[in-house]
Every structure is written in structure tokens, then in C-alpha cells.
């Protein structure tokens, strides 16, 4: 058994892109792991490190040599390798010569397709040190780097210039040239706290040496935990709670090697500006962590993370406060300016903003959305006047100075401006909620008017873009129609709005000019929404055949569709489900072969067998119970009752010949099965269910 050593791989660079650091580190680790596995070396004891200036991987107990590999080479079939007297044929002799052995040294391999001559040889494993440089180079080449760069007079390309490389295998350096740099055992610590080189004594000592000598916390997750703890502690000292976005926490972690939290303050007068604008400035522009009180109200403080232990913290704090003040002053100025005229006064300016060349201006869209929102509100027992008002104000905040400066605040600034103008509270709230959900898993509009506006805006966009012939293709979806469609599905189902999509799409189509011919794409948009509905259920673990069974009935109300799907999913768990699904398949197959017109109803006088009489009687009893339940949307209860049909249905198929010689009896039995199948079809096509 070969001995094993630890291996350290480190690539030292100039500062790496902070938002890409985690992705690069993970991809580098996976590339090394994949390369080791392909080489037949264990790649499961890996630990990755990432700082602004390095990517590294530590592999524990890596064998010093590849395991030997047994190679098999198949030759001719035994029947073709020897003559009738057992003498080797030219085929056998030629195969043996190509393998460098005698025919007698070949083995026989028995398979399902016959016996074959094979040559078995043992390939000795290569030294691990010879394999590592190639594995590292391939892993670096496979990193997800959109745009690589060259530096100096080198031809090597990477995301940032490379300054050093470490390949330390146990106590020995693996000599190689990586991205133009000769490998060694020397790393570099913090740029300011430890500018001198640091020789690594052993791979396992790497994180400790960097921390103790180099003032670098090499482990990304460990450094992230330090940043998180320091920010929380600093906020607590200020009497508040830090707002810590995971994305910002990752970005800040990727910017520092030796994190030190630093608190700062700003003037209280800025708190009169909408908090979202201040928070956006702190998080997106300055990478500061805002601080709020126990009720979520913004406090005049922030936390920033420096990359060193400063000799003069007060000067660092003053510098951070000085940087943020002009941006807050701009936000204050824009906010005061925007409040000088009501939000509604900006409707006129929307006539000069093009939504889409063929679909008109944003003002045109607002008119269409207002009419559609009024229709939806009427259908869903909402407030049509509020829906109309919200739709007309919905895009006005796009013309405010605040949104032009902070585009991410659209909708939010609409709410603030509407509140300032003393619009109805639900109307103001709807202006922000129109954009919900922004992404998968995001919260939904909480108000009825917000739900109505969000639906109307998305459905108008879907109809318009489909009508001008620009639906999503492949991975291209410039108008984010897939996200819009998923939002429609979620709002209707999770918001429990029992809206008929076909009727609503017809109303949406009527809002476009005749030249757009939107009415021609109603079915296309409906199918597109159903496709999003399929994805919605698959993400929840609903079986595809359950969805297909309900889809066969073509419910046009997503809420009703959802109730059916949930009911069928629950029904499948019942012990009677498999038998009744099989019965529905038999019924469907029988009915496909029927060429004559079925009788209008079952005739009791033609029920000859006890089993068909029992089934007909039970069917009459249950129909009176389950049809009202189905009409009320209580599909789960209805299917639970229909499960009682299992015994009479099984008995019928076991003992009754459907295709009787007597035509009248046969047609009557087919009519009975048609009634049975039709009853189930009020919920779903159970013949579509798989075992």
C-alpha cells in the first residue's frame, strides 16, 4: 500500500472580483476533485480556501502514486480464433502479436453473446506528483470566467494577474509552471499587515500560518462568520440590529482578508428620506450594513468592514461618513423635489415614454391595464375604482427623480408618493405590490388591489408581446414573460382568486388596437400559462401524470385546477386508487372502440347480471352525493366517496362480459361504463395516471 501525503494548491493573484469569488472557489475545488477522480485518486478529502488574493485547495491523505490498473483488450471470438482441430487461426495469432504475447497467454471471456479471446495486462500507476500540474491547469482552464485577461508580455490568461503559485505535496514542492508562474512553497499574507513572504511548513499548517503570521483568514465560510459576528456586535453596541443581506455579506467577505468592523453615523435629518433609498445607498453603493431598531425603523448609523486594524479608527470612521453624506444629500434633494407635484401629475409625461414600438407608450399601457384591472376587480369582488386608480398611477413614479437615481426603488417610491398625496392606503400599497412576486419564492401582493394590479399588468404584457410575435424562444426571454406567467399562476392560486383565465385574456385582448390582432393569441398565451403551471407543480413534487390527468379536463380557472391536482394527489394515496385508475383505463379503451351512438342513459331493464345491477345502483347513489361536491370545488371529498366504487367496479369487470352478443345489452353496459368514466372525468382523466 502506497503512503499518503497532504497536498496544498494555491494560486495567488491580484484582487479577484468579489461577487464571483465564491463561485470561482467552488468551481476550482470541483475541478481539482474531478481531475483526481479521473486519475483514480481519492478526491473526497478536499477543503477549499478563498480570499480576495487567492484560491486554494487542501487535499488530505492523497496517495503518492496512482493505483495499478488492470486493462482488458478483447480480440476475436473463440469460434473464429481456432480451427476445427484447435489450431490458432491467423486472427488469433495476429491479435496475440499485437498484444506482445503468445496465443497460449491469452484468456477466454464468456459473455451472453459468446466466448472471446482477451488480453489482460497490468498498467502501473504513475506518481501523483507527475499528475497534479495537469489537473491544476485543467481545473483553472475550466473556471467560469466570462472574460479572461493577459498581463505584461505573457500569453497566459486568467481573471486577474497571477503572482505566485504553491504546489506543496507533503514536504516536497511539485515543480511546475502555472499560468506563467513557477510553483514553490511560499505564500503571501495580508498586503499591509504582513507584506513579507511566508514559507509553508506543511500543507496542513496553511490556514494556521496565514492567520497567525499573515493576518489572513483563508477559509471563506470562517471569515464570513467573523464578519457576521462583528457586524451584529457593532450594531448591538449602537442599540440596534444590523440589516444583513446574505448577498452583501458574501460580497463584503470577498473584499477583506482580515475583517475589522467599524461603526459610523449620519445626520438624523436624512431619516426623513424614504428608508429604502438610504438603505439602497448603503448596501448597493457603499457596501455598508444599515442598522434598525427593534421595530425595523432605520437608525442614523451604519457598519462598515475594513480590511485592517487601523491605527486611527476615528479617521477611518470620519472618511466613511464623509463618503456617504453627498449621496444622502442627493436623495434628500430628489425626495423634496418629487413631492412638489402629485404623482398623478406625471401621467401626461408617460405619453412620451415608449413601452414597445408596436404596443405604444407607457401611457397607452396604463389605459389598457386600468380597464383590465377594473374587470378583474369586478370578477374577484374587489374594488374596481381603486384598481382603476392604482393602474393609472402605477408607472408614474418612473418619472420621479428618485427612481431615475435609484431604479431599484420603482414601486416603492410610488407608494411613498401616493401616501404623501393622501391616496387611498390600499391604492398606495398596490403601487409597490404590482411588482410582486419579483422572483421564484418571493412574497405575493397582500392587498386585493395589489393582486389585481399585478395580474392586469402581467397579463397585458403577455398578450401584447405574444400578439406582436415575440414570445420566449429557447433560453431567450427579453421581456421576462416566463417570470410574469409564473407570477400570474402564483397570485391566482396562492391568493385564492377564482378567476377564469380565458375570459380574462379575452378582456385583455379587447384593449389592444385592431391592427395588433391580440384575439388571435389568446389560446397561445393560455397554453404558455399552463406550461408555467406545470413547472409550478413539478417544483412542488407533484407527479407529471397527475398534472396531465387534470390538464385533460382543461380547467380554465387556475384555482380550480389546483384543487383538482391536490385532490388527485391525495386520491392516489388511497388503497382503492390503483384499481379505479386501471378501471378508467379499461373504460377509455372500450369507449375508443365504440362506433355506434351510445344510448342517452342506462336502462335498468337491460341490466342482466347481479354485478352490473349492483354497480348501476351504487353509481346512482354516489352521483347524487359527489356531483354537488364537485360543483362546489370539493374534489377531495368527492373522490374519497368515489373510492367506494372499487368493489362493485372490480366485480363488474371480473364477472360481466361487456361485449355481449345481444346488441342492446352490450350498448347498455357501455352506457353504464360511460356514466362511470364521465363521473370521474368531472375531476380528471384517471386513465392518464401511471402505476
Gap between the terminal Cα atoms of the chain: 50
Q: Are domains 354-541 and 576-688 of this chain identical in fold?
A: no
CATH topology of domain 576-688: Isoleucyl-tRNA Synthetase; Domain 1 (1.10.730)
Phi, psi dihedrals of residue 16, rounded to the nearest 5°: -80, 155
Which of 414, 280, 398, 401 shows the shortest CA–CA distance to 338?
401
Coil, strand or helix at 474: coil
- Average pLDDT for 363-370: 97
Mean pLDDT of 219-240: 97
Question: Does position 592 have pLDDT exceeding 80, yes or no?
Answer: no
pLDDT value for 191: 93
pLDDT at site 287: 95
Contact 86, 291 (CB under 8 A): no
Question: pLDDT per residue over 135-145, tens digit each?
Answer: 999 999 999 99
Fold of 354-541: Hypothetical protein af1432 (1.10.3210)
Among 97-101, 378-382, 660-664, the range of highest mean pLDDT: 378-382
Compare 68 and 258 and report the one with higher pLDDT.
258
Query: Does the pLDDT of residue 43 top 80, yes or no?
Result: no
**Residue 325 pLDDT > 90:** yes
Cα(274)–Cα(339) distance, integer angstroms: 12
Average pLDDT, the chain: 92
Cell numbers standing for residue 596: 355506434
Q: What is the mean pLDDT of residues 553-570?
A: 95
Does 539 score more than 90 pLDDT?
Answer: yes
- Class of residue 657 by CB neighbours under 10 A (exposed 0-12, middle 13-18, buried 19+): exposed
**Amino acid 416: pLDDT:** 97
For the chain, what are the domain ranges? 4-66+127-212, 69-123, 220-338, 354-541, 576-688
The residue among 687 and 456 whose pLDDT is bigger is: 456
Average of pLDDT values for 260-284?
96
- For residue 675, name the pLDDT band (cuts at 50, 70, 90): confident
Contacts of 247 (CB under 8 A, 6+ apart): none
Whole-angstrom Cα distance, residue 551 to residue 104? 66
Span 162-179, average pLDDT = 96
Q: Which residue has the cell 411613498?
A: 416
Question: Nearest-5° angle of CA 322, CA 327, CA 328?
Answer: 90
pLDDT at 70 over 80: no
Closest CA to 650 of 588, 576, 571: 576
Strand order in the sheet with 172-173: 46-51, 54-63, 4-13, 162-169, 172-173
Answer whether 49's CB lies under 8 Å from 220's CB.
yes
The proportion of the chain whose per-residue pLDDT surpasses 90, expressed as a percent, equals: 71
In this prediction, residues 70-78 reach a mean pLDDT of 84
Residue 2: pLDDT over 60:
no
Q: How do residues 463-501 score in pLDDT, each as one tens digit?
A: 999 999 999 988 889 999 999 999 999 999 999 999 999
Q: What pLDDT sits at residue 597?
A: 63
- For the ranges 214-228, 581-595, 677-691, the lowest mean pLDDT is seen at 581-595
Higher pLDDT, 613 or 531: 531
Q: Is 475 exposed, middle or buried (0-12, 13-18, 19+ CB in 10 A)?
A: exposed
DSSP letters spanning 89-124: PHHHHHHHHHHTS-GGG-EEEEETTEEEEEEEEEEP
Higher-pLDDT residue of 349 and 152 is 349
What H or E segment, with its residue span, contains residue 433? helix 425-433
Beta-carbon contacts of residue 494 (< 8 Å; ≥ 6 apart)? 444
**Sorting pLDDT into bands at 50, 70 and 90, what band is 24?**
very high
Is the pLDDT reported for residue 1 higher than 50?
no
Amino acid at each position: 500500500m502506497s503512503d499518503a501525503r497532504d497536498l496544498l494548491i494555491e494560486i495567488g493573484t491580484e484582487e479577484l472580483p468579489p461577487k464571483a469569488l465564491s463561485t470561482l472557489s467552488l468551481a476550482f475545488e470541483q475541478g481539482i476533485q474531478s481531475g483526481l477522480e479521473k486519475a483514480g485518486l481519492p478526491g473526497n478529502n478536499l477543503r477549499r480556501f478563498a480570499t480576495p488574493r487567492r484560491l486554494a485547495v487542501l487535499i488530505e491523505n492523497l496517495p503518492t502514486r496512482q493505483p495499478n490498473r488492470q486493462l482488458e483488450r478483447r480480440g476475436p471470438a473463440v469460434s473464429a480464433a481456432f480451427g476445427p482441430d484447435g489450431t490458432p487461426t491467423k486472427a488469433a495469432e495476429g491479435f496475440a502479436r499485437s498484444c506482445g504475447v503468445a496465443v497460449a497467454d491469452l484468456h477466454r471471456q464468456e459473455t451472453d453473446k459468446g466466448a472471446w479471446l482477451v488480453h489482460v495486462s497490468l498498467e502501473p500507476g504513475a506518481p501523483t506528483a507527475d499528475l497534479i500540474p495537469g489537473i491544476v491547469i485543467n481545473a483553472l482552464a475550466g473556471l467560469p470566467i466570462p472574460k479572461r485577461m493577459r498581463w505584461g508580455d505573457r500569453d497566459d490568461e486568467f481573471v486577474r494577474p497571477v503572482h505566485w503559485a504553491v504546489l506543496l505535496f507533503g514536504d516536497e514542492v511539485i515543480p511546475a509552471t502555472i499560468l506563467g508562474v513557477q510553483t514553490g512553497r511560499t505564500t503571501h499574507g495580508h498586503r499591509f499587515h504582513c507584506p513579507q513572504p511566508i514559507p509553508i511548513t506543511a500543507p496542513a499548517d496553511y490556514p494556521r500560518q496565514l492567520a497567525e503570521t499573515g493576518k489572513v483568514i483563508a477559509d471563506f465560510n470562517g471569515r464570513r462568520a467573523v464578519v457576521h459576528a462583528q457586524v451584529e456586535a457593532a450594531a448591538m453596541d449602537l442599540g440596534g440590529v444590523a440589516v444583513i443581506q446574505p448577498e452583501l455579506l458574501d460580497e463584503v467577505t470577498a473584499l477583506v482578508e482580515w475583517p475589522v468592523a467599524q461603526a459610523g453615523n449620519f445626520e438624523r435629518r436624512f431619516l426623513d428620506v424614504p428608508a429604502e433609498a438610504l438603505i439602497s445607498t448603503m448596501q448597493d453603493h457603499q457596501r455598508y450594513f444599515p442598522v434598525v431598531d427593534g421595530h425595523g425603523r432605520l437608525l442614523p448609523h451604519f457598519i462598515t468592514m475594513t480590511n485592517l486594524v487601523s491605527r486611527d479608527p476615528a479617521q477611518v470612521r470620519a472618511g466613511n461618513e464623509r463618503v456617504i453624506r453627498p449621496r444622502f444629500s442627493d436623495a434628500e434633494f430628489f425626495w423634496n423635489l418629487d413631492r412638489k407635484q402629485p404623482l398623478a401629475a406625471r401621467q401626461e409625461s408617460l405619453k412620451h415614454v415608449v413601452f414597445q414600438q408596436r404596443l405604444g407608450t407607457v401611457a397607452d399601457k396604463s389605459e389598457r391595464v386600468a380597464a383590465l384591472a377594473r374587470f378583474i376587480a369586478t370578477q374577484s369582488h374587489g374594488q374596481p375604482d381603486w384598481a382603476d386608480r392604482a393602474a393609472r398611477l402605477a408607472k408614474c413614479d418612473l418619472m420621479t427623480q428618485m427612481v431615475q437615481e435609484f431604479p431599484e426603488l420603482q414601486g416603492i417610491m410610488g407608494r411613498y408618493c401616493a401616501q404623501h398625496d393622501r391616496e387611498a392606503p390600499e391604492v398606495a400599497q398596490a403601487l409597490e405590490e404590482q411588482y410582486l412576486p419579483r422572483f421564484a419564492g418571493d412574497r405575493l401582493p397582500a392587498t386585493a388591489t395589489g393582486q389585481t394590479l399585478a395580474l392586469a399588468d402581467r397579463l397585458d404584457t403577455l398578450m401584447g408581446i405574444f400578439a406582436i410575435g415575440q414570445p420566449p424562444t429557447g433560453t431567450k426571454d427579453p421581456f421576462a414573460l416566463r417570470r410574469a406567467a409564473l407570477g400570474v399562476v402564483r397570485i391566482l392560486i396562492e391568493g385564492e382568486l377564482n378567476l377564469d383565465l380565458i375570459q380574462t385574456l379575452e378582456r385583455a385582448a379587447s384593449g389592444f388596437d385592431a391592427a395588433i390582432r391580440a384575439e388571435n393569441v389568446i389560446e397561445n398565451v393560455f397554453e404558455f400559462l399552463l406550461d408555467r403551471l406545470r413547472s409550478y407543480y413539478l417544483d412542488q413534487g407533484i407527479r407529471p401524470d397527475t398534472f396531465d390527468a387534470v390538464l385533460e379536463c382543461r380547467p380554465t380557472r387556475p384555482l380550480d385546477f389546483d384543487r383538482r391536482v391536490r385532490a388527485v394527489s391525495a386520491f392516489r394515496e388511497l388503497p382503492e386508487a390503483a384499481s379505479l385508475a386501471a378501471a378508467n383505463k379499461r373504460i377509455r379503451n372500450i369507449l375508443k372502440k365504440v362506433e355506434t351512438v351510445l344510448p342517452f342513459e342506462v336502462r335498468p331493464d337491460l341490466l342482466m347480471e347481479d354485478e352490473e345491477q349492483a354497480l348501476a345502483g351504487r353509481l346512482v347513489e354516489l352521483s347524487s352525493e359527489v356531483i354537488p361536491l364537485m360543483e362546489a370545488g370539493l374534489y377531495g371529498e368527492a373522490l374519497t366517496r368515489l373510492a367506494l366504487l372499487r368493489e362493485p367496479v372490480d366485480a363488474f369487470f371480473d364477472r360481466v362480459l361487456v361485449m355481449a352478443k345481444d346488441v342492446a345489452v352490450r350498448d347498455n353496459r357501455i352506457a353504464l361504463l360511460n356514466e362511470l368514466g364521465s363521473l370521474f372525468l368531472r375531476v380528471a382523466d384517471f386513465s392518464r395516471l401511471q402505476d
